[in-house]
Amino acid sequence: AQTVTQSQPEMSVQEAETVTLSCTYDTSENNYYLFWYKQPPSRQMILVIRQEAYKQQNATENRFSVNFQKAAKSFSLKISDSQLGDTAMYFCAFIPDSNYQLIWGAGTKLIIKP
Amino acid sequence: SQTIHQWPATLVQPVGSPLSLECTVEGTSNPNLYWYRQAAGRGLQLLFYSVGIGQISSEVPQNLSASRPQDRQFILSSKKLLLSDSGFYLCAGEARLNTEAFFGQGTRLTVV
């Protein structure tokens, strides 16, 4: 079975600090896509960053970057210079190329303290 | 860009009443569509997904059903709601061309 694991149910850091959210996944597929989504209190889901498994270069989007380790099946999200508006639930998600079925982690609640 | 219209945003229904939540898709054809439920403080639980008209896969046995009468329409239903059906329901889609998921606004259902 294909699974996504987020081992940190909740994290809390001070504003302007850097924080890393962990995500590991299990699959036998070779081609797939990985995503981090942010869910603020409004409950809307916002795409933060995406990574194609065939690309070795880590994706970066402004203050957000990933550390993609394909052999270790790890896909962590780093948020630099954290801001109060980063407070949200963060979900790691995975889409295998074979069936395009979204598979989600349980989420990490991130709190940025002033 | 792809968008999902999901309604209503909030709903309060008595136990035993029927339910119909609808989402419609714009901006893409033949998307994969999903219904998720999010209980308070918990992650997203996949309820149903659909790869095409009339094709529904159920991930969790429950009091709910889903239908896809048209390519861009996905409906979540129940004949008789239970208290345990309360939660936040999210419709999601995924365009086959770019694999990026897009989401509706969600519906907060309270069964009383």
Chain A contacts of B88, Cβ < 8 Å? 43
pLDDT over 70 percentage in chain B? 90
* Res B39 pLDDT > 80: no
Nearest residue in A to B108, CA atom: A43
* Cα separation, A81 vs A70, whole angstroms: 26
User: How confident is the model at residue B61, as a pLDDT?
Assistant: 67
Average pLDDT score, chain B: 87
- What's the token pair of residue A67? 């550390």
Query: pLDDT category, A100, cuts 50, 70, 90?
Result: low
Which of B20-24, B37-41, B60-64 tops mean pLDDT? B20-24
A14 CA: distance to closest CA in chain B (Å)? 22
* Res B41 pLDDT > 60: no
Chain B contacts of A106, Cβ < 8 Å? 42-43
DSSP, residue by residue, chain B:
--EEEEE-SEEEE-TT--EEEEEEEES-SS-EEEEEEE-TTS-EEEEEEEEETTEEEESS-SS-EEEEEETTEEEEEESS--GGG-EEEEEEEE-TTT--EEE---EEEEE-
* Cα separation, A86 vs A110, whole angstroms: 8
User: How confident is the model at residue A42, as a pLDDT?
Assistant: 64
Chain B contacts of A105, Cβ < 8 Å? 43
pLDDT, tens digit, for every residue of A20-43? 999 999 998 888 889 899 987 766
Q: Which positions in chain B have a beta carbon within 8 angstroms of at least one beta carbon in chain A?
A: 32, 34, 36, 38, 42-44, 46, 49, 51, 88, 90, 92, 94, 96, 99-101, 103, 105-106, 108
* Res B59 pLDDT > 80: no
User: How confident is the model at residue A10, as a pLDDT?
Assistant: 93
CB contact under 8 A, A45 and B90: yes
Average pLDDT score, chain A: 89
Residue with the bigger pLDDT between B1 and B6: it is B6
Whole-angstrom CA distances from A48 to A73, B84, B85 are: 19, 32, 30
pLDDT over 90 percentage in chain B? 47
Other Cβ atoms less than 10 A from the Cβ of A3: the count is 12
User: How confident is the model at residue A90, as a pLDDT?
Assistant: 93
* Res A56 pLDDT > 90: no
